[in-house]
Amino acid sequence: MKNQSDSISSVLIVGGGTAGWLTACHLAKTLHAKSAGGVKVTLVESENIPTIGVGEGTVPAIRDSLQALGISETTFIRECDVTFKQGIKFVDWLEAPAADHSHSYHHIFDYPQRDSLDPTPYWLMEKKAGSDLSFVDAVSFQGAVCDAGLGPKLMTHAEYDGFAGYAYHLDAAKFSRLLTKHGTESLGVQHLKGNVVDVILGEEGDISGVTTDKLGVLEADLFIDCTGFSSLLLGQKLGVGFNSKQDVLLADTALAMQVPYAEENTPIPSYTIAAAQEAGWIWDIGLSARRGTGYVYSSQFTSDERAEEVLCAYAAKSLGAAADDLSCRKIPMNVGYREKFWHKNCVAIGLAQGFVEPLEATGLLVYDAAARLLAAQFPSCIGAIPEVANRFNQRLQHVWDGVIDFIKLHYYLSRREDSEFWKANRLRESVPESLLKSLELWRFQPPSEYDFPSRLDIFNLDNYLYVLYGMEFETDTHNLMARFPERERARMQFNKMQHNARSALESSLPNRELIERIRTFGLQKI
């Protein structure tokens, strides 16, 4: 048995997939697993359990992670069927589509500059005066770039650089394989294949080892549970309960489908499409060789059979009768998070930690953030574990609660009356009190950076602004007009943004063409 002052010399990650391998790479990089004095990082995964792979979208934070881990952007694009993502286009979330009208808006990744003038209150005043300029187009040229199907960078940009903020769409299985290769060959992760059949507890209730079918007992000082929804270590063995958030986020099931392109050179949107449906929404993600689509829905308000009809009808819009031959995979979703994410000497990351629907690419975002936090705050010795764990739990609960508030915002602001699902999402009792209080304040004044004081907030001011005003949220600026007297200067700024948009359209390449050039010629190294 180790003493309190003894260092943590070994970590065992149980489970692979994107979450497991991101965690392994972050730990191995930070803890110098490859060096003689570093912490030994081992990952054991089953050969038989496929990854869930619900989402294939990311957010810009993944660029920081890939760069920090030393992964070439060119290699990443070539090996993971990557395309560029500049945001999410929300279709029919505000109102049900009509024969002559369909509402949509962009949540982009470019954030407006506020160094000398905050555009938001001025845009609100212009809108009240009759302007039809959208919030996104007023503060950024990226919405125009997205609508034109263009990429976020030029071939002259170095890796991980561009003229606009961006993330990626990717093949999750190929991404896991790339992380596996990089983790084992470059960062010193030991990779084992075997099924965990039992978890062994020590005298103090900590995990002392796991029993496998082929490798015997594997021991470590710290264990990372990446076993998916089953949460074999933290949930089943250590008995840490689960906080369901099904009463807030009503969608509990997904149908996933891989959709081929109708033609080989079909343009690829540089954004995720999130198209609202009668009992949920469909994601539509364009990769190089195919589209990843799926229907996220509530089993309380529709049947699996009807959900499959809706998804197949969506695919048929581009494929016609050929969509009849496509198959779907049903994925039950356990919506919520663990009561604790770190208990004793066990930390859960990935689906074992928590899950909400894949709107806004929250899954990979939170798992990557949790892995980075664990690596950065890794305890220096056994005795430091309790307090590090306590802080980790507090910070991650704040993250999850913030994510849930933000996802619920999309539903609560809807004005759809065409189904019971949308009506149920607007019941006040289904909305976190924290979100209701913020919305009440923002009816009288626009959100500010002081409403988001924590550095750990996953979704911040600009994310909220894009959704609030994309969904036509009403903020009364009548009592604020005297505080913002530079309306003419703001108009000039809005006009300049339209000019910037025209310039970007003239110089940018279509998303598919940009990806093909990168795959052929590569990007400049940083």
Distance set, CA 434 to CA 137, 339, 450, 458 (Å): 29, 19, 15, 16
What angle do the packed helices 385-412 and 461-470 form, to 10 degrees? Answer: 20
Q: Please list, residue by residue across 349-385, b when 16 or more beta carbons sit within 10 angstroms of its beta carbon and e when fewer do.
A: bbbbbbbbbbbbbbbbbbbbbbbbbbbeebbeebebb
Query: Residues with Cβ < 8 Å from 453, sequence gap 6 or more?
Result: none
Q: Is 118 exposed, middle or buried (0-12, 13-18, 19+ CB in 10 A)?
A: middle
- β-strands 217-219, 207-212: how paired? antiparallel
Query: Quick one: which of 328, 476, 342, 401 has its CA closest to 23?
Result: 342
Q: What is the largest CA-CA distance in the chain?
A: 73
Catalytic residue among 2, 29, 40, 85: 85
Q: Do the Cβ atoms of 234 and 346 come closer than 8 Å?
A: yes
- Chain centre to alpha carbon of residue 494: 30
| 85 has catalytic annotation | yes
Six-digit token pair at 485?
């007297």
Query: Residues with Cβ < 8 Å from 192, sequence gap 6 or more?
Result: 42, 43, 44, 45, 212, 215, 218
Q: CA torsion angle for 24, 397, 296, 85 (degrees, to 10)?
A: -60
Q: CA torsion angle for 106, 109, 111, 112 (degrees, to 10)?
A: -40
Question: What is the spatial distance between Cα 88 and Cα 109, in angstroms, rounded to a whole number?
Answer: 9
SS (H, E, C) 20-71: HHHHHHHHHHHCCCCCCCCCEEEEEECCCCCCCCCCCECCCHHHHHHHHHCC
Question: What is the spatial distance between Cα 424 and Cα 297, in angstroms, rounded to a whole number?
Answer: 13
Query: Quick one: which of 280, 281, 261, 283 has its CA closest to 272?
Result: 283
Question: What is the spatial distance between Cα 325 and Cα 27, in angstroms, rounded to a whole number?
Answer: 43
Helix (H) or strand (E) holding 332: strand 329-332
Six-digit token pair at 81?
């069927």
Q: Looking at the annotation, which residues are catalytic?
A: 85
